[in-house]
Amino acid sequence: MKAKVGDRLRFLGHQVGAPDHFGRVVEVMGKEGDPPYLVEFDDGHRAEVFPGTDCELEHAGAHHSAA
């Protein structure tokens, strides 16, 4: 996984009915976009994360269509 500041991470719920949670990369601590990342979650807390297979990356601006 290669991320940059501003990218969003989606962490999938681990149990049936458990909601996914989301965070924004505020610092890339690894080399060339590699983990770990400092992530600010939607509830405001920050944590250093090493994303696993239960995490999806959305690059900043990826959801916008080109005009």
pLDDT for position 30? 95
**What's the whole-model pTM score?**
0.81
Residue 53 and residue 63 in contact, taking contact as beta carbons nearer than 8 Å:
no
Output the tens digit of pLDDT for each of the chain's 67 residues. Answer: 899 999 999 999 878 888 888 999 999 999 999 999 999 999 999 999 999 999 999 998 765 444 4
Domain range holding 28?
A: 8-58
Taking the alpha carbons at both ends of the chain, their separation in whole angstroms is 28
Give domain status of residue 2, yes or no.
Answer: no
Give domain status of residue 19, yes or no.
Answer: yes
Residue 20 and residue 12 in contact, taking contact as beta carbons nearer than 8 Å:
yes
pLDDT for position 16? 84
pLDDT for position 37? 97
Give domain status of residue 65, yes or no.
Answer: no
pLDDT for position 65? 44
Give domain status of residue 64, yes or no.
Answer: no
Give domain status of residue 40, yes or no.
Answer: yes
DSSP string covering 14-49, please?
A: SSTTPPPEEEEEEEE-SGGGPSPEEEEETTS-EEEE
Rounded Cα gap, residues 31 and 36, in angstroms = 9
Count: domains in the chain: 1
